[in-house]
Structure 1
Amino acid sequence: MKIFPDDLLYSREHIWVAVDGNMATLGITDYAQEKLGDVDEVDLPKVDSFVERDEPFGTLESANDVFELVSPLSGEIVNVNEDIMEDVTILNSDPYDAGWIVVIEMKDPEELDDLLEIQGYQDYIAEEE
């Protein structure tokens, strides 16, 4: 059974977003990590780099696939989770807490309006399966 915290927003590219003021923490959903399988390599951007909405900002690799991390928001990367660089298994075991990926200072908080709440995301992935 997939887990989806109800206090997050979700993109159609399977990225979750936790908002705190103008900061947004991003990670992959349980659905994404399950599809990907055991992650064995992570490629993430540097702090202070700028990401554009709907543009890739990194990749996750497993034996099954390469998963492109597509940013649901535009902004500056202010923090990168160094822990997952050292231990990629965190992404599979705890994608919502310890497995966060980056923190972005949002350029345009109105972009949040295009993200899905939990029910919309569950409906979206039900259509994909």
Structure 2
Amino acid sequence: MTDRPSAAPGPAWQLLAQVVLPGGRGSAGRAADLAVEVVRHLHLPPAQAQLIRQAVADAAHQVGARPDAPGPALPISVAVLISSRPAGGAPGRQGWGCFVIKHLADGAPAAEVSACDTIELYLYPEGGRDAPD
């Protein structure tokens, strides 16, 4: 478990998967496919799975398509995390919310630069449109 700063107040996060993909052509699609595969066990509605796919693909494309960055394309680290604490409400009546955070290696102070760009997908329980009836 890990505590991460987030838009949601105080959840603990469990890492479901983390992989480093080579940067460059095709990395956005591979990152998006990975994210959707990792959360398949949540049985998300197809529309929400597509939103996750698109959000991760967009983030991967943005970190991979920076022509001003010196040198070869940096690898992309993709982490998928899920909240370990329910947000309240009746069990089985919650859907899932998500948000994506990007960390661009060339935008960080020199002491904090990692060897790759990072995309983190956070999933958290949330009552809403996608909650089962």
TM-score by length of 2: 0.27
Of Structure 1 and Structure 2, which has the larger fraction of its residues in helix? 2
Rg: which structure is higher?
2
Larger strand percent: 1
